[in-house]
Structures are given as structure tokens and as C-alpha cells.
Amino acid sequence: MHQTAHYRDGVERFVPSPSEAVLLAALVLFCWKLYGGTENDAVAGLSSVVVVVVAWVVGVSLRAALNDMRWWLLLGFLVALIVPWLGANTFQVGVMSQVCVFALLIFGLNVVTGYTGQISLGHGALVGISAYIIAILSSNYGWNVFAAMTVGISVTTAFGFVLGIPALRLAGPYLAIATLAAALIFPPLLKLDTFEDYTGGIQGLHETRLSPPGPIESFLKEHAPSDAYQNDFQRRKFAEESYLYYISLAAGVVGLVTLWNLGRSRFGRAFVAVRDSEVAATSMGINVPLYKVTAFGISALYAGFAGAAFFLVIAFVAPESFDLVNLSINPLAYLVIGGLATTGGPVVGAFGYMWVPRVINKIATVSGDFDKLQGAMTGLLLIVVMTRLPQGVWGGVRRVNALSWQRLAGDSWAWAFQRSPLFWAGLALAAVVVVLIAQFIGTVWAVFALALLIVAPHDVWSGAGDVLRRLNPGWKRNASIQADVT
């Protein structure tokens, strides 16, 4: 069901054409600055617009010359490197560390659910096993954290293979519920009196957070942005959070690259083959049970890393931390929203997992009495994304991307002329309402939003157009393009 961008030599290219880059940059910056809520919003808004414009211009000019993912990878990596200096405060850096943590978990889910098609609701338990083993070894037995991590991750991988055994006999919803049961068993097990001495029972286990080695710490403290980090405590926090961020980032990048490599190797193909047709896969020489269990094992390896990073970043484990919804169901939901069986989808999903609740919380808080409705907003978002972009955000971006730009421009005009006057009247009305609202609440962000729309009209609008097209099936794209992308 997934779509991948393929170039002439048939090599699957990782990531972004300019449009994707612009959309992503805009998305990231938007969430970022939006949630930052710094005092000088005007500067933040303006600088976002500048960054978006630059990204777009650079992207367009580079597209022909650098039709090679390595440049984009590098660009993305460079941006990721300066994240501590982009963030308005240490909290945001901490959230970005957690984006890396949950990206690892979602990578793992992607292997087992995206590629291999086995729904697993038990991955929260795997993260928990890893985090708990590390916590127990390091706080009860005084192990070095990194040594404990090695053990934790290995044991979790082994558990992953065990969790994969039901996959040999169960299919679809039965497997989903079996793994769900595994996730439900985990917290009560931690609370058992028998294990309480090791697991800390309901109180959980604390660990002092890893602090950076001296030279790194002093370097980071020295170079902390002075406007945001004024006192020594804040600078120390900056050094600590940045250090943890870089560790998580390293893990996340390794996870991303290995996932991408795996996806385009014989393993990735075999996983998808197992998902699409077990019989054909068998006849092509694929040992289906072995690959199913392997998928769980690899996936648990990622989950183990996620647990290790989780322990580093949160530095606290308790049975309540590994609840069903937060660590098993939501990551899966955000994986599907990001895009199943893609490389970029999990990254989008991890961003969504960490940032969507925060942005929604912000919306809810602004709207006063409606803060209880944030669950409803999240629910609506899930529904809208799933019904309008069935292949997830990444799939949707790719779809837009696969279209030729000139054609898109032409199509947009054709589309515009085909709309009824009523539609335009409605749109104008909506715009007026938007402007009025902006009048009442503030203009800086309205300007930013409008700028975003003006800067990348074809791309962004065709993204919206894609949504509208679904609403208006009467409008069909040119048949040749259709064949290109479906």
C-alpha cells in the first residue's frame, strides 16, 4: 500500500524533493516557534518565513543539480545538529530528544507492522523491559549505564523473538489482541511483591541523569545562547539536555539509516512479500515463519534502543509509565499517520507523537473552557488524516511530489476555473472569518500563515488540493499522471 519515489535506475531514493523539504521545514518551524511562545513573536514569525523562503529557493535550484538524497540527508542532519540552538529553551530540546526516542520505537513498529503486516500492540512492554533492566542494573547493582544498556537491549531483543512466536500461529486481530495481552501483563508483573525489591514496585526507580563529561559540559555551557539561558542552572541544564539530545539523535540517526537500508535490502523486500502473499513468498524461497519472527526480533532491537534512550532522557521508570495507550497504541497510531512501510513516515510519526498533543494543548488552553476537548481534537485529527490521507502524511507528500510541477501548476488553474462561484464565495467567506479572527487575537501569526501559503502556492495548495480532490471526485487528474502515482 505504500508508495515510494523511484528514479530512473530503480533505486529507491530517500526523501525529499524540494516540496517535501519546504513542507517539512514549515511544519517543523511552525510547531517549534508556535509552541515556543517566546516574547518576540514577530522575530520568530519573520525568521520562520525567511527560512521557509530560503529553503524553497534553495530546494528548487538544487533539485535538478542534486537529485541525490545524500545532500538532503546532510542538510537534515545539519539542521538536527543545531537543534539545541534553535530551541527557545531546554524543554524543547528535551522534547526533541524524546522525538528521537519515540522515532526508534516507531521504526521498530514499522518493521513489524508496516513492512511485515503483523499488528503488534505489545511494544510498550518491550520498551519497558529494556528501560527496567537498565534501571535495575544501574541503580540496584551500580552498573555502568552503557554496560547495562547492552544487556537491556540484548534481553529485549530476545523477548522480541518470544513475542514473535504467537505471530507464527495467529493472524490479524488475534495477533493484535495477543500482543495487547502481553502489554497488559507487564505493569502488574512489575508490581508483584516478589519482584518489588528489584523493580521498586509502584514507586519505580530513579536514576540521576547522565551528565556530560567535563570538557563537553563546559563547551556547551560556554556556547549556550545567552538570551535564553541566563543563569548557571539554565546553562547547566542546557549542557545536560543537549548532551542527551545528541546521544538520542545519534541513536535516532543510526536507527533511521539502518531502517532505510533494511527497507531496500532483500530483508525489506522479503518482509513486504510475507505481508502481501505468504504463499508466493514461500515459493520464492522465503522462510515465512523465520521472517515473521525475525521482524519481531529486529523490531524489538529498535524498541530496546528506544527503552535505553527513554531511560537516559526520562531517568525514571514506574509501572504507570508503560501504560497501554501511551506506549503501545499511540505510537502505532502515529506510525499509520506518518505512513506505514516508509522510511520517512516514522519520523513524521515521532514528530507528531511528541508535538501534536502539545500544539493541541496550546489550542485548547487558548480557547479557555474547552481544554477538556483536547482528546476530541486529537481524535478528529486522527480521523481526518486517516480518511483524507489514507497512506499517511508521508504518502500524501510523496503523492504530491510525484506529480510534475508544470502540470500541477496547470492543473491548479484548471481546477480553479472548474469550481463554482459558490465555492469561491464560501472560500472568501472563510478567509474573511479567518482574517477577522486574526484581528481579534493577533496578526503576527496570521501573516506567517498567509506567507506560508503565498510562498509555496503550487505545492502547498496542491496538497490542500489533494484533500479537496477527495471531497470533489468530479475533478479528475490527467490520466497519465494518475498512472504515474497509483
Partner 1 sequence: MTVAPAPALLQVRDVTITFGGLVALDSVSFDVGSGEIVGLIGPNGAGKTTMFNCVTRLYRPDRGSITFDGRDLLRVPAHRVAACGITRTFQNLALFPSLTVLDNVLVGQHHLLHADAVSSSLRLPTVVSEERAARAEACEIINYLDLDAYRNTYVRSLPYGVQKRVETARALVGRPRLLLLDEPAGGLNHEEVTRLGEQIRAIRDRFALTVLLVEHHMSLVMAISDHVAVLDFGRRIAVGTPAEVQRNPAVVEAYLGGQDEDGTHA
Partner 2 sequence: METFFAQLANGASTGALYGLLALALVFIFRATDVVNFAQGEMAMFSTYLGWSISRPLSLSWIPFLGVDRHLNLLTWRPEVFGLPLYLGSENDGLTRLGYLVVLVVTVAIAFVMGALIERLLIRPSEGKNLLNAVIVTLGIFAFLNSLANFRYGPVPQTYPAPFRGDAVDFGLFKMSQHSLFALVVAAVLMIAVYVFFQRTKLGLGVRAAALNPSASQLMGINTGRMLTLGWALAAAIGCVAGMLIAPALSGISPNLMFGILLYGFAAAVLGGLDSALGAVVGGIAVGVGQSMVVQYVGSQWSDIIAFGLIIAILMVRPTGLFGAPAVKKV
Partner 3 sequence: MSRDRKPWYRTPWMAALFLAAFALPVLAVACGDDDDNTTTPTKAATTSAATTATGSATGSASASASATTDAKAQIDTIKGDTTGVTDKEVKIGSYVAKTGPASIYDDIEKGWNIYFDEVNKKGGIAGRQIKFIVDDDGYNPVNTVNVVKKLVEQDQVFTLFNGLGTPGGNAVLPYLKDAKVPSLFIASGDAKWGDQGSTIIGLQPDYVTEGTTLGKYMAQNYKGKKYGILFQNDDFGKEGRDGLKKGVGGALTLVDEETYEANAPDINAQATKLINAGAEVLGVFATPTQFAGALKYVKAQGKSVVWFSSAVTASSSTAKLAEGAMDGVFSAGYLPDPSDPDPIVQKVVQFFKDHGVANPNSFHLYSYMAAEHLERLLTVVGKNLNRESLIYALDNVAFQGDWKSTLLRQPSIVTKSDHKVIEYEWIQKWDEKAGKFQYPIGDIINSETTKR
Residues lying near partner 1 in the complex (CB under 8 A) are found at 1-4, 6, 10, 258-259, 261-262, 265-267, 269-270, 272-273, 275-277, 279-288, 294, 298, 341, 483, 486
Annotate each residue in 274-313 with x if it binds partner 3 (CB under 8 A) or - if it does not, as one string.
----------------------------------------
Q: Note whether 88 binds partner 3 by CB under 8 A.
A: yes
Output the smallest distance, CB 118 to partner 3, in A. 26
How many of the chain's residues bind partner 3 (CB under 8 A)? 76
State the DSSP code for 340. Answer: T
Q: Based on CB atoms, which residue is closest to partner 3, 8 or 372? A: 372
Q: Which stretch binds partner 2 (CB under 8 A): 225-233, 238-246, 263-271, 379-387?
A: 379-387
Q: Are 163 and 102 in contact (CB under 8 A)?
A: no
Q: Contacts with partner 2: how many residues (CB under 8 A)?
A: 50
Given the rule CB under 8 A, which of 67-75, 340-348, 389-397, 472-480 is the region that contacts partner 3? 472-480
Residue 202 C-beta: closest distance to partner 3, Å: 5
Q: What CA–CA distance (Å, rounded) separates 401 from 383?
A: 23
166 binds, among partner 3, partner 1, partner 2, none (CB under 5 to 8 A by kind): partner 2
Could you say whether residue 372 binds partner 2 (CB under 8 A)?
A: yes
What are the respective helix, strand and coil percentages of the chain, to the nearest 5? 80, 0, 20
Q: What minimum distance in Å lies between the beta carbon of 402 and partner 2?
A: 18
Q: Which is nearer to partner 1, 281 or 337 (CB)?
A: 281
- Based on the shown chain and the rule CB under 8 A, indicate whether residue 417 belongs to the binding site for partner 3: no
Q: Which residues contact 216 (CB under 8 A, 6 or more apart)?
A: 239, 243
Q: What is the CA radius of gyration of the chain?
A: 24
Least distance in Å: CB of 188 to partner 2? 5
Helix or strand holding residue 205 (H, E): strand 205-206
**Cα 346-451-349 angle, rounded to 5 deg:** 10
Nearer to partner 1, 25 or 273 (CB): 273
**CA distances from residue 449 to 14, 16, 413, 438 in whole angstroms, order as listed:** 28, 22, 22, 11
Residue 420's Cβ-side half-sphere holds a number of Cα atoms within 13 Å equal to 5
Residue 254 makes contact with partner 3 by CB under 8 A: no
DSSP 102-161: HHHHHHHHIIIIIIS------HHHHHHHHHHHHHIIIIIS---HHHHHHHHHHHHHHHHH
> Do 481 and 407 touch, CB atoms closer than 8 A?
yes
Residues 332-351 as x/- pattern, contact with partner 2 by CB under 8 A? xx--xx--x-----------
Of the residues 27, 51, 170, 455, which one makes contact with partner 2 according to CB under 8 A: 170
Instruction: Establish if 441 lies at the interface with partner 3 (CB under 8 A).
Output: yes
The stretch near partner 3 (CB under 8 A) out of 19-27, 104-112, 315-323, 340-348 is 315-323
Residue count (the chain): 486
Query: How far is CA 9 from its chain centroid?
Result: 29
Contact call for residue 194 and partner 3 (CB under 8 A):
no
Pick between residue 237 and residue 458 the one whose CB is nearest to partner 3.
237
User: Which of 11, 171, 254, 428 is close enough to bind partner 2 by CB under 8 A?
Assistant: 171
Which residues does 53 contact at the CB level (< 8 Å), separation at least 6? Answer: 455
Q: Minimum CB separation from partner 3 for residue 325, in Å? A: 8
Q: Which does 182 bind (CB under 5 to 8 A by kind): partner 3, partner 2, partner 1, none?
A: partner 2
C-alpha cell at 339: 505512513
Give Cα separations from 422 to 425, 426, 427, 429, 436 (angstroms): 5, 6, 9, 10, 21
201 makes contact with partner 3 (CB under 8 A): yes
Sign (positive/negative) of CA torsion 417, 421, 426, 428? positive
CA distance 327 to 335: 12
Q: Taking contact as CB under 8 A, which single stretch among the options 70-78, 94-102, 111-119, 291-299 is the one that binds partner 3?
A: 94-102
Hey, which bits of 246-292 come out as E strands?
none
User: 351 CB contacts (<8 Å, ≥6 apart)?
Assistant: 27, 28, 31, 99
Shortest separation between residue 60's beta carbon and partner 1, angstroms: 24
Provide the CA 441 distance to its chain's centre, in angstroms: 30
Q: Does 225 bind partner 3 (CB under 8 A)?
A: no
Give whichever of 325 and 483 is closer to partner 1, judged by the CB atom: 483
For 143-171, b/e burial (b = at least 16 CB within 10 A) is bebeebbeebbebbbebbeebbebbeeee
Q: Which of residues 362-381 bind partner 3 (CB under 8 A)?
A: 362-363, 365-367, 371-372, 374-375, 377
Instruction: Rule CB under 8 A: choose which of 41, 278, 466, 484 binds partner 3.
Output: 41
Q: Of these, 178, 244, 318, 397, which contacts partner 2 (CB under 8 A)?
A: 178
Residue 265 or 326: which CB sits closer to partner 1? Answer: 265
Residues that bind partner 2 (CB under 8 A): 1, 113, 119, 165-166, 169-174, 176-178, 180-182, 184-185, 188-189, 191-193, 279, 324, 329, 332-333, 336-337, 340, 370, 372-383, 386-388, 390, 470
